[in-house]
């Protein structure tokens, strides 16, 4: 069985695609930002949502987040990584507080990515590469900095209007490259576009619940 699994993983794995860096990739990024109405996203002050058993309140303009999961409640600054933490209603201090904030940061970095990933393509440390696709447009984004696993790459697949419809990923947590996912249920809130859920390999589906957006 192990051999069969290995053979299957090798069969579906894809190498990281090669393309063109420079003006062409920048133009695709700009057109995608226009399709998503990134200026509207930039003006948003607050976003809250549920993803799995995690609840988030993101005070976007002041770079602070509250994360709730299980019996934990953590509030922290994404800039200073300072904040406060409770477990079972008891305030944590010292190393316990630091560990709770680090865990909350990891949850937030991963779970917010799926909600706002297309808006992060011009974050510091990103490398953009245009990729030729059979239809639509392709933009490979490599994150050299930030997040929990720097060095991960994502190929955003865009339709003819430069709107994101799915992606392939080359990430450290997966043993294969090029795993395909797609966004579903896009809708506008405060002028910006957000996905309702996403689906990976046609069977793994995750939903973004209770989304609230304020400008």
Mean pLDDT of the chain: 91
Rounded mean pLDDT of 1-20? 66
Backbone angles phi, psi at 106, to 5 degrees: -65, -45
| pLDDT one-digit tens code per residue, 95-147 | 999 999 999 999 999 999 889 999 999 988 999 999 999 999 999 999 997 76
Rounded mean pLDDT of 34-48? 98
The domains of the chain, with CATH numbers, are: 18-214 (2.50.20)
> With 80 as the cut, is the pLDDT of residue 2 above it?
no
pTM of the full structure: 0.87
Burial of 55 (C-beta count, 10 Å sphere; 0-12/13-18/19+): middle
| pLDDT one-digit tens code per residue, 192-215 | 999 988 777 666 677 899 999 999
Backbone angles phi, psi at 158, to 5 degrees: -115, 150
Rounded to an integer, what distance in angstroms lies between the CA atom of residue 193 and that of residue 110?
19
Q: Write out the two tokens for 82.
A: 């300072």
Distance of CA 137 to the CA centre of its chain: 20
Backbone angles phi, psi at 79, to 5 degrees: -90, -50
């Amino acid at each position: 069985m192990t051999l069969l699994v290995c053979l299957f993983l090798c069969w579906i794995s894809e190498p990281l695609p090669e393309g063109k860096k420079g003006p062409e990739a920048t133009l695709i990024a700009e057109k995608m930002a226009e399709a998503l109405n990134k200026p509207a996203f930039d003006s948003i002050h607050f976003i809250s949502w549920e993803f799995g058993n995690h609840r988030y309140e993101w005070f976007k303009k002041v770079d602070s987040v509250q994360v709730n999961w299980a019996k934990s409640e953590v509030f922290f600054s994404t800039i200073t990584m300072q904040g406060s933490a409770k477990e079972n209603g008891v305030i944590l201090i010292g190393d316990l507080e630091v560990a709770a904030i680090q865990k909350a940061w990891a949850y937030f970095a991963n779970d917010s990515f799926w909600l706002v990933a297309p808006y992060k393509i011009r974050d510091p440390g990103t490398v953009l590469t245009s990729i030729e696709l059979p239809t639509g447009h392709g933009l490979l984004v490599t994150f050299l900095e930030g997040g929990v696993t720097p060095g991960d790459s994502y190929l955003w697949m865009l339709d003819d209007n430069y709107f994101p419809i799915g992606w392939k990923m080359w990430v450290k947590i997966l043993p294969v490259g090029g795993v395909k996912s797609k966004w579903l249920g896009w809708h506008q809130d405060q002028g910006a576009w957000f996905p309702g859920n996403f689906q990976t390999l046609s069977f793994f589906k995750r939903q973004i619940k209770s989304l609230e957006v304020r400008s």
